[in-house]
Amino acid sequence: MSKTILITGGAGFIGSHVVRLFVNKYPQYTIVNGDALTYAGNLENLTDVQQAPNYIFEKIDITNEKGMDELVSKWAFDAVIHLAAESHVDRSIVDPLAFVRTNVLGTAVLLNTCRKHWGGDYAGKLFYHVSTDEVYGSLGEEGFFTETTPYDPRSPYSASKASSDHFVMAYYHTYHMPVVMSNCSNNYGSHHFPEKLIPLMINNIKNSRPLPVYGKGENVRDWLWVEDHARAIDTIFHKGVAGEKYNIGGFNEWKNIDLVHLLCNIMDRKLDREPGTSARLIEYVKDRAGHDLRYAIDATKINRELGWNPSLQFEEGLEKTVDWYLNNEGWVEDVTSGNYQKYYEDQYVRR
């Protein structure tokens, strides 16, 4: 069946993997990537699909009510997969209102625009909201987040994502809009912006720069291969039940300091350095304010009800990730220098 789908944030890390999967796997779908191209959005992430006949890029800010209205009028979307967000916790501590604008207001504008255009006739329609495990707060040494864990966000980022989740469920209950939502753990893989832990460490190890570990490095995260997240989104989009939420995770918990040591070992081997060379770059620095201790997702529901499972072992995924960064040094240079903004101009404005 043909469909026209808006994927917001499709030029970002996870969004670009979701766009690639949908464009390649579903030639009968028209995939419209709607993205504002903030510092985190990069069309170079999608050069392999940009010529595909079922792929379209639209530069759009989801907080712009008029622009969203025009976009939805133009394309008459059957479905939205909403990933656009400000996504970095440290930035949310510096500038919380940017997170309120995009994550809360932007999500509400998107929901309201769909409500207006779908006009209560929701046959064949779906609003899929991509959220995070951080809305559940911080775990102690034991336990997991399930879909019924009460929300307890503790950073401006997670508070803004929690608020957007509530708006999505409000549109389900109040207007009967068909929605699904997923809350995923930490992703890793290619095209990850080097402000986040894994790509930042890979980049700094490569350049023999200090490796800043927050606090004592005891915080725990549950890491999932980004392509497994994209597969989970595909599964939920096609098989999920409206009004339901699904947790996605890798059952793969790592203390930050252990993960950094593992990366150091992999990089020493790949860069032909003496074992132990990169680990000497580790520096314990001031902790993140309000730093959540531990996240761990119970992904039983999506496995039991929809048959999804993570496909890749972490060590194998990390090796692939390191290889990607070592083979794509130009990408890292571009995203850290702002050259990709020029790519957009060349690709879309001047021609």
3-state secondary structure of 87: coil
Q: Helix or strand or coil: residue 338?
A: coil
Residues 77-116 that bind ligand DAU (CB under 6 A): 87-89
Residues 259, 209 contacting (CB under 8 angstroms): no
Following DSSP, what letter does each residue of 115-155 receive, concatenated?
Answer: HHHHTT--TT-EEEEEEEGGGG--B-SS--B-TTSPP---S
Given candidates 91, 212, 261, 301, which one binds ligand DAU under the rule CB under 6 A?
A: 212
Instruction: Give the one residue of 19, 36, 202, 318 binding ligand NAD; rule: CB under 6 A.
Output: 36
What number of chain residues touch ligand NAD (CB under 6 A)? 30
Pick from 218, 196, 217, 200: which is nearest to 209 by CA? 200
Nearest approach, Cβ of residue 159 and ligand NAD (Å): 12
Binding span for ligand DAU by CB under 6 A among 64-72, 145-153, 166-174, 194-202: 194-202
Q: Is 265 left (phi over 0), alpha (psi -120 to 50) or beta?
A: alpha
**Catalytically annotated residue among 44, 86, 134, 292:** 134
Q: Which residue has the tokens 């980004």?
A: 226
DSSP bridge pairs for 128: 81, 180
Q: Which is nearer to ligand NAD, 5 or 85 (CB)?
A: 85
Reply yes or no on whether 134 is catalytic: yes
Q: Which does 41 bind (CB under 5 to 8 A by kind): ligand NAD, ligand DAU, none?
A: ligand NAD
- The answer to whether residue 183 forms part of the interface with ligand DAU (CB under 6 A) is no
| Residue 157 annotated as catalytic | yes
Q: In degrees to the nearest 10, what's the CA dihedral of 316, 319, 324, 329? A: 170
**Both structure tokens of 152:** 């307890």
Among 6, 13, 19, 68, binds ligand NAD (CB under 6 A): 13
> Which of 22, 128, 254, 295 touches ligand DAU (CB under 6 A)?
295
* 185 in Cβ contact with 223 (< 8 Å): yes
Which residues in this chain contact ligand NAD in the complex, by CB under 6 A?
Answer: 8-9, 11-15, 35-38, 40-41, 61-63, 83-87, 102, 106, 130, 132, 161, 184, 186-187, 193
